[in-house]
Structure formats: C-alpha cells, structure tokens
Amino acid sequence: MERLSLKDFSYEIPDELVAQEPLADRAASRLLVHNPDGSILHSSIKQLTKLLPRGTRLVVNDTRVVPGRLIGQTPHGGKVELMLLRPVDAEQNLWSALGKPFKKLSVGQTITFAGGCEATVKTRIEEGSQPSLVVMFNLPFAQFWDWMEREGYIPLPPYIARKEAAQAPESRDRERYQTIYAREKGSVAAPTAGLHFSNELWSELVTHGIIPVPVTLHVGGGTFLPVKSDEISTHAMHKESFLVSKESYNELQKAEAEGHPIIAVGTTSLRCLESFARRAKTEGVDTLLGQWQETNLFLYPETKESRIKPWAISGIITNFHQSESSLLMLVSALIGYETIRKIYEEAIAERYRFYSYGDASLLWLPSD
C-alpha cells in the first residue's frame, strides 16, 4: 500500500470560510454529523441533546488559556515576540518558547517587557521541525503568572486577523477564546471544540443525562505549527503536559461497562486519552492516575486504508482543521482518510465556517 505524504492532506477553501470572529451565541454553530454507517447529517450544536443518547460521557479538556504571547524589545530597541510553549522549571522560571526573529536571539540575549519583566535566552534548540528557545524570566514563577495576565496577549492562531492586538485585559477574545469549563491554567491555545458550549446548552445537556468527564492537556504553541516534512512520520510534536484523574478514569470505565457512548470533545481530549492509554500499557494505570505526564503523541494514518483504534471513545466533536495540519491527520487516522476528504468537500460545498472560531463536526467512529 502506498504511504501517505504531506501533499495528500492538502486542500483549499475560500478565504471567506475562515471564521475571523466568534458567533454572538456560542451554541449557534452548525454541526456536520458523520454517522457510523457513513451517512452525513447537517445539524447544529444546539441539537446535541437530541443527537447524544442519555448516559453519553463528554470528555472535555478543562485547560485554561493564558496570554502567553509576549511582545518585548532588545537592549537596542528591536522588537521581539515570544510564544510560550510550556514551563520547563518552575523554580528558575524557565520556559520553552518560540521566538521571532529567531536568528537574532542568541544565548545571553536579554528581552525587556512592559511592567518590569525581563527574559534571558538560556538555550537555542535548532533541531527538529521548528527551532525554539529556553528562556528564563526574572520574576518568581507565581508572580510571573499574574504579570502575564496583565501584560500578555491572547495567543490567537495566525489565520485570525486582528489589526491591532490588545493586551489580555482589554482583548475581546479574552473570554471567547476560552471554554466555559476552563479551570487549569497552562495552555497557549484553546481546545477550540469546547468553545461551542454555552452555559445554557451545558445545563441542557446535563439535564438530558449527558455526563461531563474532565481531563487536562495543556495545549502548547506548537499546535499552530504546520507539518513541514513531506515524509509525515518525521514530524516532531512539541511536548505537552496532561493529567487524567482517578475520578475521570473510573467514570470512563463505568461508561464502557454500561455500554454508553464516550465522545471526546476536541483533538486535545483525544490525545490526552490516547497518551494515557498507551503509557498505561507499560507503566500501569495506577502509577499514572492523578499525576502530570508529558506527551508528544502524533497520530496519523500511514496509508489511505489505515485507521487507529482509540481507547474507549465512540466519536469526537471537533472543528474543521487546517490543510496539512497534524490535527487533520489525527481525524483522518480516526475516521479514515477518504471519509475525511469527503466530509471536508461537503463542508466546503455547504459553506461551513472553518478553524478555531468556525463550525463543528460530530464524527462517530465507522461501524465497519
């Protein structure tokens, strides 16, 4: 069988289908439903109470987006932008970050930010698909979080255009680029499938007998990075922290035993579950529950015929992803390469809104 390459995940959409703003009502988004038999239904997020059986578990990523896009300057006045990926050492307040302009950020370089914060470049990491830095901030770790909430910028994806980015306290994206159930601070990108749930819809789902199951995966800035290598197996994912609690694990075990569907809300929830399940095979469940772990799991189909068999889940709620992205590869591995291509062709023809602020899909795993 012929192996898939990067160009196999390429597609084009009209610019006007890229959603630039969230809808006034979070739950007003359209929903493309892929049924287990392969049929497609055009519905809406508000119909989830009718589409999901009572007892369905919704696995949600309760990570909270922090304003991890930082804009400063060098001692000579040059503009520098950092996109924080994840903390490396809390005691020293070391962070992994993407930096622009990378070529001019040498080891020992200092970067000054508003509000009394400075960073020093400690390490340059030039191997891999995306060069990165390790930087140390002069503020204590806890104080740094407070400073970032005041002075940082909401890390919107590059395809969302903002003429003048506002700092987090004034940004109109501060609340809308955040799920209503966000709890654990640590992401620099939103788990966007969860943005569709309003408080009203959430209450309706719970009343209907849908049971939320929280997990945490802190989404790093690497989620914005495209796959660059034509041989996709060589793509290196940035590490991200994740946690599955004992309570959530027991809830999923109960759902499986009772035969209730388990739906992952977003690719990050799915990657969290799959990372946990794969490590549990070698390390044991009890050693992982309630403990922070790291993952760089990259899920993709090797051929047009190959699919992964995920742990526990019956389907996924997810947005429509960028061409040639690792997220598009993930859903192709889950549902099937040819099936996802047909779904995206249909979504484009039906004028669905794409990407982070766009519409959603409910993809049930194929029955075959």
Return the CATH number of 69-152, one of 3.40.50.11890, 2.40.10.240, 3.40.50.620, 2.60.120.260: 2.40.10.240
Non-local CB neighbours of 129 within 8 Å, separated by 6+ positions:
225, 227, 228, 229, 235, 236
Q: d(Cα 366, Cα 353) in Å, to the nearest integer? A: 24
Whether the per-residue pLDDT at 167 is higher than 80: the answer is no
Q: Which residue has the tokens 């519409």?
A: 359
Asked whether 86 and 96 are in contact (CB, 8 A), the reply is yes
User: Using one digit for the tens of pLDDT, what is the confidence trace for 177-230?
Assistant: 999 999 999 998 899 999 999 999 999 999 999 999 999 999 986 666 778 889
pLDDT of residue 166: 66
Q: d(Cα 285, Cα 129) in Å, to the nearest integer? A: 32
Phi, psi of 69 (to 5 degrees): -95, 115
Of 201, 205, 241, residue with least CA distance to 87: 241
- pLDDT grade for 168, boundaries at 50, 70 and 90: low
Whether the per-residue pLDDT at 243 is higher than 80: the answer is yes
Residue range 6-65+177-364 forms a domain whose CATH class is alpha beta
User: Using one digit for the tens of pLDDT, what is the confidence trace for 120-131?
Assistant: 999 999 876 678
Q: Domain locations in the chain?
A: 6-65+177-364, 69-152
Neighbours of 74 (CB within 10 A): 15
Q: What is the DSSP string of 336-347?
A: -HHHHHHHHHHH
Phi, psi of 273 (to 5 degrees): -65, -45
Beta strands in the chain (DSSP E): 30-34, 40-44, 57-61, 63-65, 69-73, 79-89, 94-100, 110-113, 117-125, 132-137, 184-187, 211-217, 240-243, 262-265, 293-295, 315-319, 360-364
Whether the per-residue pLDDT at 173 is higher than 70: the answer is yes
> Does pTM top 0.85 for this prediction?
yes
Asked whether 137 and 90 are in contact (CB, 8 A), the reply is no
Token digits for 288? 């992982």
Same fold, 6-65+177-364 and 69-152: no
